[in-house]
Amino acid sequence: MTDSHQHITESASGTSSGVNISASPKPWFVVWVKSRAEKSVRDSLISKGFEAYVASRHEMHTWRRGERRKVEKVLIPSVVFVRMTKNDRLIIEDTPNVCAIMLDPAKRGLRSKGLDEYANISDYEMRLF
């Protein structure tokens, strides 16, 4: 088992990212965040009681001075996955460094006012991360 596979397994079980990807009545949504703010937004949302996930893996990084350190590398830039309800939307959008919640282009003309207009991710798809 490779190091990156071990990290993904750890992240999915909640040991490194604070999230337990399991069945829940709340669906997963894609939140767009400012560049390089993925981990801080994830941590902020977790501290507010949300389930949040950033697709990442650990890598060894070597600096010019020869220093080596294990770093968390974000795999999908500017994206945080979060479980939420209709009432949670405003809390998510008011979180620092959050830009928007991803809309579902297939539902563009529906003009709905709930979470139906947002793209959601199934539990099965989240487990693949």
Distance between CA atoms of residues 122 and 34, nearest Å: 24
The answer on pLDDT for 76 being more than 70 is yes
Residue-wise pLDDT tens digits, 1-47? 334 333 333 333 333 344 555 567 889 999 999 999 999 999 999 99
Buried/exposed 69-105: b ≥16 CB within 10 Å, e otherwise:
eeeeebeeebbbbbbbeeebeeebeebebbeebeeee
| Residue 43: HSE in the Cβ half-sphere, 13 Å Cα cutoff | 5
Residue-wise pLDDT tens digits, 45-69? 999 999 999 999 999 999 888 999 9
Residue-wise pLDDT tens digits, 86-109? 889 999 999 999 999 998 888 776
All domains of the chain, ordered by start, with CATH?
Answer: 3-20+30-128 (3.30.70)
